[in-house]
Structure 1
Amino acid sequence: MFKNIIVNFIGIFNSRILGFIRDLLSASILGANIYSDIFFVAFKFPNLFRRIFAEGAFTQSFLPSYAASKNKPKFAWLVFKKLFIIILILSLFVTFFSNIVTDVLAYGFSPEAKKLASPLVALNFWYLDLIFIVTFLASLLQYKKHFATTAFSTALLNISIIISLLLSMNLPKEQIIWYMSFGVIAGGFAQVIAHVIAAKKYRILKLLYIGAKSRKKQDIKQFKKHFLPSVLGNSTAQLSSFIDTWLATFLTAGSISYLYYANRLFQLPFALFAIAVSTVLFPKITKELNEGKEKSAFSSMKKTFWILFYLLIAASIVAITDSKEIIKLLFEHGAFTEKNAEITSVVLIMYMLGLIPYGLNKLFSSYLYATHRHIKAAKISAYSLIVNIILSIILLYPLKVYGLALASSISGMVLFVLTLKEFGFNKFLEFFEKKYLFYMVLVILSSIIIAIVFRITILWILAHI
């Protein structure tokens, strides 16, 4: 299991580094203004679904039902066919009624900005069709214990957008965001090709062909029952970010960009640690629980919890302590001003307060899905979202963009507490042993030292560039 976690970690780390290069170029070339806001709104909708699908919702509803299916080829084909048709229809709707969709997504934008954003919203949404194919094949590859293709292919999207930025950097900003949008679609096609190659190697394409030709009846009611609850249960952090973006359209120009850049930094440790770990853990504990090996599943959870907890503690301390220096180093170039950097650094602190609860929730929610408590997980997520919406509205005007990020973090804390309650507080307390608590103290002290060294290093770099 830990070998697969490392593979996932390296692949996601590679992608996130390229993502930061992409964001650095974007901040330098576009800055934080209405044009960057338009692109981030246009990309936010399909990216919301990408994160929901790719970060667990589909896999956690599909794999348990797939594992229990007696006719796996037929089951896989039916799920793919029906969901792809639904997504295709949705994409066509967004294309033909992009003005209406843009009015909803960017309600606070001016009429001129909405007019610019409308065709970009339609174009970017087609990325969802491509990423569904990727996620579907990735789930079957995970079942076969192959994680590398999915982990490393996420970099292809970033590479594609980087190329589009380099090609258009001297053009007007209105044209640059068109290049970036075509880069999104090109990156999606590249990810599909990578997964099709891997699917052929692991005989998944043959399995789907057999399923398409099979005339045997196959019931997918169990999957349908779990799918929507899984989507809602896995999407709290993503929906919170989406709500932040929507509400930020009512604030000054640049607010959406501040949220975007800060959330991108939040997503680095979240993806590297929480997603990488839970992606590998979920198929393992699902199989163990199906085979009646509850002690083994609990042991896997315990070991993984402490590794993830230590990593999240370290990331939180470093990011909160050095937020200003990190933002200045990464983004304060070209069109991205010192004031932009100062605002983004505070937004980052607000987001990072929620890293530990969101990250650990990813782990414990996996256990709920593995034990078929999809509806309960969805209800917990709904309560958390309600808290987020209420707090966002309350904090929007007194704290502006900072209040949106803070509301998101508080809702993550509510999410984690409710998930733990369902998991069982007594079972959770069994995780705690003296040796682990001692190690936690060492991790905190080490993280403080690392944060100090990191700050000194960044200040030295900033002084010499």
Structure 2
Amino acid sequence: MLKKAFFTNSSGILFSRIFGFIRDLLTANILGAGILSDIFFAAFKFPNLFRRIFGEGAFAQSFLPGLIGAKRKSSFIVSTFLIFACSIFLLSLFVWFFSGFFTKILAYGFSEEKIFLARPIVVINFWYLELVFITTFLSTLLQYKNIFWVNAYNTILLNIFMILSLLIAKSYEGMQIVYLLSYGVLCGGIAQILLHFYPLYQAKYLKIFLVGCKDIFLLITKKSKNHVKKFYQESIKSFFKQFFPAMIGSSTAQIAAFIDTILASFLVTGSISYLYYANRIFQLPLAIFAIAISTALFPTIARAIKNQEEEKAKNLLKQSFWFLMILLTLCTLGGILLKNEIIFLLYEHGNFLREHTLITANVFAIYLLGLIPFGLAKIFSLWLYAHKKQGKAALISTISLGVGLICSVISMQFLEVYGLALASSISGFILFILTIKHFGIKNFFWIIASKKYFLLLITLLILEFLILQAFLTFIHI
């Protein structure tokens, strides 16, 4: 089941990222790396941040343990959905009315002219946040039933609609392109939600929703029994106690990238775009391997911990560690050696020039230094989430973010956009070290104690280095 879930997740993420790179290629071709791309990426950053946070584990890592332990699952499901959906809707209205203020927060270094142009784009893209939550909520319900393919493949629809918007926008100019692309984001979000309906019907969630709505109605009208009300209050209270720490704890890389965007707005025009393009490629191996396996692994780990089968959980973590360690190390070495060639192949077209290629490639290589710690921290943090230690995970994440922020502010003074990428990688190492400390040093050494896997890793790295050096002798940028 675990292998099937992993390959389902990783294949879905791979196809989604392929469409995502096609989208980015068109974006680079049509918008380039200038004022238009900076405005769109700044506006899309906040909803995209929440898409990654919600969709890549934060919600599931607090919702699934709550659902597993809830005695009245139907009311827990419906009440959680209503609380989040209504809160996000009100927040979106607030952003709409105070768009200038929020635009200033998203891109504090923008000039007044840029902020004026970006305000309506920020509002349009922010409505995607509501669609993100609904999509993630429905996907998490399906994961509870061990149905992973919808969560893995639904992002493809977002990319397809953004690609279609860009193709239509080719005949337009200036801000019209940015508007069309932003409306494409909303259409993609609606399509993501619709994809869930039939699998939910097959999984017999319609009856669960109806029962949950009835329970909530009885609670509101005060006609439910006291023990039902008690179970309801305890499960909801426990969920929210775990959710906010989990959201912080599982999203260090995404929050760091978000902070980078704000800081990059103080640098030369194009800096936001360099970070975006480089981070998009950096996220590919992180998503295909680390996020895919952590998503597949978590329900099993959570059930094992709940059933007091910790040895089973440790063995699963050991297999996952070496699998990730080998793959992420190979990706890091290959990405650094081929950084120029990768950026050239993906982006250097139209308004994306050789100058942009070389800068983005160096940013990408610096981001890759943090790939291994960010990826491995994902699976070890599952141990904390399964033990309902989301508060610990949040503290670890906050410390790593704080260190990264300090490093960003200092290093950007000397290294500009490269300093922001370096600070992000440093925060990844802090995150990994602190996560291992709370996981247990003794447990960690037991997991890494494998001469067979260590020799395999060294052998593969040597072979990869020799092959890529031979390739670069004939083809290089």
TM-score when normalising by structure 1: 0.97
- Aligned position for 2:358: 342
SS of corresponding position for 1:239: helix
- Aligned position for 2:465: 448
After TM superposition, list the pairs within 5 Å mapping 1:63-74 onto structure 2. 63-74=64-75
> Structure 1 residues 456, 11: CA separation in 2 closer, same or farther (over 3 Å shift)?
farther
- Aligned position for 1:422: 438
1:207 aligns with 2:208: yes
> Structure 1 residues 39, 14: CA separation in 2 closer, same or farther (over 3 Å shift)?
same
The answer to whether the Cα contact below 8 Å between 1:320 and 1:352 also exists between their aligned partners in 2 is: yes
- Aligned position for 1:133: 134
Q: Which runs of 4+ in 1 moved over 3 A?
A: 449-459
After TM superposition, list the pairs within 5 Å mapping 1:87-166 onto structure 2. 87-166=88-167
- Aligned position for 2:392: 376
The answer to whether the Cα contact below 8 Å between 1:318 and 1:450 also exists between their aligned partners in 2 is: no
- Aligned position for 1:437: 454
The answer to whether the Cα contact below 8 Å between 1:165 and 1:179 also exists between their aligned partners in 2 is: yes
Number of residue equivalences: 460
Question: Post-superposition shift, 1:173?
Answer: 2.4
Task: Write out per-residue CA displacement over residues 22-47 of structure 1, whole angstroms, 9 at most, x where no aligned residue.
Answer: 00111011100010000000000111
Task: Could you tell me which runs of 5 or more consecutive residues in structure 2 were left unpaired when the two chains were aligned.
Answer: 219-227
After TM superposition, list the pairs within 5 Å mapping 1:58-457 onto structure 2. 58-214=59-215, 215=218, 216-217=228-229, 218-219=232-233, 220-431=236-447, 432-452=449-469, 455=472
> Structure 1 residues 446, 200: CA separation in 2 closer, same or farther (over 3 Å shift)?
farther
Question: Post-superposition shift, 1:457?
Answer: 8.1
- % identical aligned pairs: 50
SS of corresponding position for 2:66: helix
> Structure 1 residues 61, 251: CA separation in 2 closer, same or farther (over 3 Å shift)?
same
Question: Post-superposition shift, 1:200?
Answer: 1.6
SS of corresponding position for 1:333: coil
The answer to whether the Cα contact below 8 Å between 1:109 and 1:249 also exists between their aligned partners in 2 is: yes
In 1, Cα distance between the equivalents of 2:466 and 2:284?
21
In 2, Cα distance between the equivalents of 1:282 and 1:194?
23
In 2, Cα distance between the equivalents of 1:454 and 1:130?
44
Question: Post-superposition shift, 1:291?
Answer: 1.0
Task: Write out per-residue CA displacement over residues 264-312 of structure 1, whole angstroms, 9 at most, x where no aligned residue.
Answer: 0000001000100000001111001111111111111111111111110
- Aligned position for 1:30: 31
> Structure 1 residues 180, 204: CA separation in 2 closer, same or farther (over 3 Å shift)?
same
In 1, Cα distance between the equivalents of 2:173 and 2:375?
40
Q: Given residue 3 of structure 1, which amino acid in structure 2 is its aligned partner?
A: K
In 1, Cα distance between the equivalents of 2:205 and 2:334?
42
Question: Post-superposition shift, 1:433?
Answer: 1.4
Q: Given residue 146 of structure 1, which amino acid in structure 2 is its aligned partner?
A: I
Question: Post-superposition shift, 1:449?
Answer: 3.9
SS of corresponding position for 1:89: helix
TM-score when normalising by structure 2: 0.95
Question: Post-superposition shift, 1:456?
Answer: 6.4
> Structure 1 residues 123, 137: CA separation in 2 closer, same or farther (over 3 Å shift)?
same
- Aligned position for 1:17: 18
